[in-house]
Amino acid sequence: MGRAATRLGDWSVPRVVGLPRLQALYRRFVGMDLDKSKAAFVLEVAEETLRRLFEAGVERAAAEGRSVVEWRDLPVTRGLAETMERYEAERARLGDPRLDLSPILGFLAGALGGMEVSGEVRERLPGLAATALLLVGYVARTVDPGARRPGRDDLERARRILRLTL
């Protein structure tokens, strides 16, 4: 069911979040500064991660004869779930607004292949999307704790780690 990844310059597909919001998320939650090109790369990795999660969810729902993707259909690992919980707790503590649901659903329309998502997925999707966005920075920060401005190599290494683990 694989679909081609959204290329950086392809704005015909809705984006999960705008670059300024992503840069603000990174400063606030990861403690990293991203220039525009690094932010665009992180956005591409996060969108790839979300697309892969939802393609797997669609396959599972279809295999069970359902036309609605449930939260249990998504291959959310324990580590990803724990990272989401930490993000949501910190977001609430800081009073940071949730990501808008509409752009995320617009982006995922291709991966969903006409299927719907359950109410629980809709409720949890902004947190999942934000976590996917922040994961690249969390991994880069773990590999190099002193990194304030990650290089392209740092982000590419984080991408490879995420591909292996998610």
Per domain, the residue ranges of the chain are 19-165
**Residue pLDDT, tens place only, 2-34:** 333 333 334 345 688 988 899 999 999 999 999
Is the pLDDT assigned to residue 125 strictly greater than 80? yes
* Annotation: CATH topology of 19-165: Histone, subunit A (1.10.20)
Residue pair 34/26 in contact (Cβ under 8 Å)? The answer is yes
Q: What is the pLDDT of residues 45-101, one digit of tens each?
A: 999 999 999 999 999 999 999 999 999 999 999 999 999 999 999 999 999 899 888
- At 15 the pLDDT is 84
Count of alpha carbons within 13 Å of 63, Cβ hemisphere only?
8
Phi, psi of 69 (to 5 degrees): -85, 120
Whether the model clears a pTM of 0.75, i.e. scores above it, the answer is yes
What's residue 76's pLDDT?
Answer: 96
What is the per-residue pLDDT for 139?
Answer: 94
pLDDT value at 157 more than 70: yes
> Which distant-in-sequence residues (6+ apart) come within 8 Å of 25 by Cβ?
17, 96, 130, 133, 134
Q: What is the pLDDT of residue 4?
A: 34
Q: What is the pLDDT of residue 5?
A: 34
Is 26 in contact with 137 (CB distance < 8 Å)? yes
Q: Of all helices (H) and strands (E), which one includes residue 68?
A: strand 68-69
- The 8-class DSSP code of residue 146 comes to T
